[in-house]
């Protein structure tokens, strides 16, 4: 199965941003996500985690490297739905 999405304008840049649904337990949230084909993890901000009821600070602390350098993140699991 394959999907095709166009790029979206984000500020003054054109980026691969697609609609996704993040699901955790009995809650879900529709949002947009930046697609990075070389990424080993997907990240989202703490407001999304709090909305979904994810106690992210109990996750393992990791420091993934992105285009802007290292960030502090908490490793947890959720379901990401693309369609």
The Cα-based distances of 67 to 7, 31, 47, 71 in angstroms read 19, 22, 22, 10
Please, what is the Cα angle at 45 between 42 and 48, to 5 degrees?
100
pLDDT, tens digit, for every residue of 6-43?
Answer: 899 988 999 999 999 999 999 999 999 988 877 778 88
pTM for this structure? 0.79
Task: State percent of the chain over pLDDT 90.
Answer: 59
Domain chopping of the chain, boundaries: 8-81
Decide which of 4 and 51 is more confident.
51
Decide which of 50 and 38 is more confident.
50
pLDDT of residue 22: 96
CA dist 58 and 82 (Å) reads: 26
């Amino acid at each position: 199965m394959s999907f095709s999405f166009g790029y979206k304008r984000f500020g003054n840049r054109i980026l691969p941003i697609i609609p996704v649904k993040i699901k955790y337990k009995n809650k879900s949230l529709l949002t947009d996500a930046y697609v990075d084909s070389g990424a080993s993890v997907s990240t989202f901000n703490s407001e999304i985690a709090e909305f979904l009821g994810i106690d992210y600070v109990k996750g393992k602390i990791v420091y993934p490297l992105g285009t802007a350098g290292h960030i502090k993140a908490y490793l947890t699991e959720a379901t990401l739905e693309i369609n």
